[in-house]
């Protein structure tokens, strides 16, 4: 057990300057997000709130994926399936008159937990490109299931009759309230994920990422730790799916496509692998840049793609590494 003792000691003796930087960057990021509604008063308030609310929801999904990729080296191309599960749980229950947010969230977690356990148990028997392909297959399976649900819009999707209610009150109907609910959820789950990464569980998970054979030799079962992380990440992304359905008041199979999973991976890489607040920053830059370029030209992808390639080539640690190097 000396190896884990060394990991524990390293985690607790990190340089104070590096620890401070690990606090300052996310604090500034969350402060900026908290002040967005004030700044929005000087522009198109409704548009800005809707855009940043959606951005934070995608940031939540990207952060959950970073827990898999950055800490566990599990590159999932089917992570958007959990977004779809969360969104469809809200949409289907709402269409049947069940609009209580906690009931919808409980149903979404139940389905997503079973799906994560079943698909994770199979996927984690593989490694590398095989893991990527099998998660892609499971994600597409769920996508085609959603397109076949003719009663709930099929391939065209379905509008929600109303947003979810909290304690029987239509609190989420107000865009500003929804914004701060999403902000609060993102902050709370960021702190939870940060605690998970800093815990013994997180350190073992990072040890498995570096050398699974060695970790198994000293008594840790990589499969169990990775499966637990896979389920946790899936549940967080499911929460994001529930929020996304409420924000857009619409559900669609497009939420669960492999392209959406690819977007989430881009966000994680853009912000910085292994940095939870980097995933949030990457989501913010990704969505804002996408919105800006799409307003300039219909061929915005020809500009957006090379920008992402340049970031990957010249900023190996993502945007977070660039910000740290300037401090």
Max distance between CA atoms of the chain, in angstroms, equals 60
Closest CA to 236 of 175, 192, 179: 192
Average confidence (pLDDT) over 234-249: 96
The pLDDT tens digits of the residues spanning 142-188 come to: 999 999 999 998 899 999 998 999 988 898 999 999 999 999 999 99
Could you tell me the CATH number of the domain that includes residue 208?
1.10.3470
The pLDDT tens digits of the residues spanning 277-316 come to: 989 999 999 999 888 888 888 888 788 788 778 877 777 7
Q: What is the mean pLDDT of the chain?
A: 87
**Predicted confidence band at 107 (pLDDT cuts at 50, 70, 90)?**
very high
Structure tokens at 253: 């199979």
The answer on pLDDT for 190 being more than 70 is yes
- Cα–Cα distance, 69 to 200 (Å, whole number): 18
The pLDDT tens digits of the residues spanning 125-140 come to: 998 899 999 999 999 9
The answer on pLDDT for 240 being more than 80 is yes
Q: Give yes or no for a contact between 290 and 300, defined as CB atoms under 8 angstroms apart.
A: yes
pTM: 0.90
The pLDDT tens digits of the residues spanning 45-59 come to: 788 899 999 999 999
The pLDDT tens digits of the residues spanning 17-48 come to: 555 556 888 899 999 999 988 877 766 778 88
| Overall domain count for the chain | 1
Instruction: Tell me how long the chain is.
Output: 327
- Cα–Cα distance, 81 to 209 (Å, whole number): 24
Structure tokens at 244: 């996304």
Domain boundaries, position 278: 2-325
């Amino acid at each position: 057990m000396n190896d884990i003792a060394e990991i524990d000691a390293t985690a607790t003796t990190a340089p104070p300057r590096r620890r401070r930087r690990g606090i300052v960057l996310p604090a500034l990021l969350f402060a900026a997000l908290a002040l967005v509604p004030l700044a929005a008063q000087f522009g198109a308030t409704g548009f800005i709130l809707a855009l940043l609310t959606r951005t934070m929801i995608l940031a939540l999904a990207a952060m959950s994926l970073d827990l898999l990729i950055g800490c566990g080296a599990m590159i999932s191309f089917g992570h958007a399936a959990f977004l779809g599960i969360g969104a469809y749980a809200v949409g289907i229950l709402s269409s049947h008159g069940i609009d209580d947010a906690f009931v919808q969230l409980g149903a979404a977690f139940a389905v997503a937990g079973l799906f994560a356990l079943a698909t994770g148990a199979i996927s984690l028997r593989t490694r590398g490109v095989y893991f990527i392909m099998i998660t892609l297959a499971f994600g597409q399976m769920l996508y085609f299931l959603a397109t076949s649900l003719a009663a709930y819009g099929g391939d065209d999707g379905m509008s929600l009759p109303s947003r979810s209610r909290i304690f029987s009150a239509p609190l989420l109907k107000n865009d500003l309230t929804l914004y701060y609910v999403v902000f609060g959820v993102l902050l709370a789950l960021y702190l939870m994920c940060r605690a998970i990464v800093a815990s013994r569980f997180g350190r073992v998970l990072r040890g498995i990422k570096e050398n699974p054979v060695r970790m198994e030799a000293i008594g840790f079962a990589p499969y169990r730790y990775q499966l637990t992380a896979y389920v946790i990440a899936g549940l967080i992304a499911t929460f994001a799916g529930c929020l996304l359905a409420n924000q857009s008041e619409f559900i669609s199979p497009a939420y669960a496509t492999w392209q959406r999973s690819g977007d989430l991976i881009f966000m994680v890489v853009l912000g910085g692998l292994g940095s939870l607040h980097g995933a949030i920053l990457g989501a913010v830059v990704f969505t804002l840049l996408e919105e800006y370029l799409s307003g300039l030209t219909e061929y915005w992808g020809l500009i957006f793609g090379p920008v992402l390639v340049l970031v990957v080539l010249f900023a190996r640690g993502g945007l977070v590494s660039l910000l740290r190097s300037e401090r």
